[in-house]
Amino acid sequence: FVMVVLLIRVLLGDVGAGKSSLVLRFVKGQFIEFQESTIGAAFFSQTVAVNDATVKFEIWDTAGQERYHSLAPMYYRGAAAAIIVYDITNQASFDRAKKWVQELQAQGNPNMVMALAGNKADLLEARKVSAEEAETYAQENGLFFMETSAKTASNVNDVFSEIAKRLPRL
Ligand code: GDP
Ligand code: MG
């Protein structure tokens, strides 16, 4: 017996945080050093086994630029889950991530599962945001937190499968 669960989720975060790279790593197992900027938003889907279920992920990868901000509600409204991505080497991207969390808490689906992903965890020597600070913030705001690297693949599948585990079964 195989259960198929459809998960609509959205990736939000500052330009350059690595949203497209995370989704490319998750969906295709690839990493591109010079990933092109996303225009508007891009759609991906991926089916994977999580525990005893087959889960279909439908992912909207948003652009992150301020000029596309007004489009964001189209993607997060009704989303079962969101991954908010920042770059651990960029403090401004962490500040921007917190703004997205506030917006989702105010406007998003109240049962939304939210993940905070501190990406580029391979660039340890350039770190600007400590894992402790992000973990504390995540706990205080009801998100779960992981540091990821789209480059090395560290924790990428884990973020997606953790979300799947936390979602109510349909
Ligand atoms: P987006 O604007 O959030 O979609 O970010 P992109 O996925 O386009 O990534 C921006 C840049 O960061 C690209 O040059 C990527 O190759 C690079 N990048 C993304 N993820 C990682 C990572 O985990 N480690 C490193 N070192 N670079 C990354
Ligand atoms: Mg992108």
**Residue having the nearest C-alpha atom to atom 28 of ligand 1:** 120
Cα(117) to centroid of ligand 2, in Å?
15
pLDDT tens per residue across span 90-134: 999 999 999 999 999 998 888 899 999 999 999 999 999 999 999
Q: What pLDDT does 2 receive?
A: 56
Q: Which residues line ligand 1 (CB under 6 A)?
A: 13, 15-21, 32-35, 37-38, 64, 119-120, 122-123, 149-151
Q: What pLDDT does 85 receive?
A: 96
Asked whether the beta carbons of 9 and 163 are under 8 A apart, the reply is: yes
Closest ligand 1 atom to 37 CA:
8
CB-based neighbours (< 5 A) of ligand 2, an ion: 19-20, 38
Confidence tier at 78 by pLDDT (50, 70, 90): confident
Q: What pLDDT does 4 receive?
A: 63
Of the residues 11, 19, 21, which should be mutated to test ligand 1's pocket, given the most ligand atoms within 8 Å of the CB?
Answer: 21
Average pLDDT over residues 42-50: 85
pLDDT tens per residue across span 143-162: 999 999 999 999 999 999 89
Q: Say whether pLDDT at 169 is over 70.
A: no
3-state SS record for the chain: CCEEEEEEEEEEECCCCCHHHHHHHHHHCCCCCCCCCCCCEEEEEEEEEECCEEEEEEEEEECCCHHHHHHHHHHHCCCCEEEEEEECCCHHHHHHHHHHHHHHHHHCCCCCEEEEEEECCCCHHHCCCCHHHHHHHHHHCCCEEEECCCCCCCCHHHHHHHHHHHCCCC
Average pLDDT over residues 53-65: 84
Measured CA to CA, the distance from residue 149 to residue 170 in angstroms comes to 30
Counting residues of the chain whose pLDDT is more than 90, the rounded percentage is: 58
ipTM of the modeled complex: 0.99
Cα(52) to centroid of ligand 2, in Å?
32
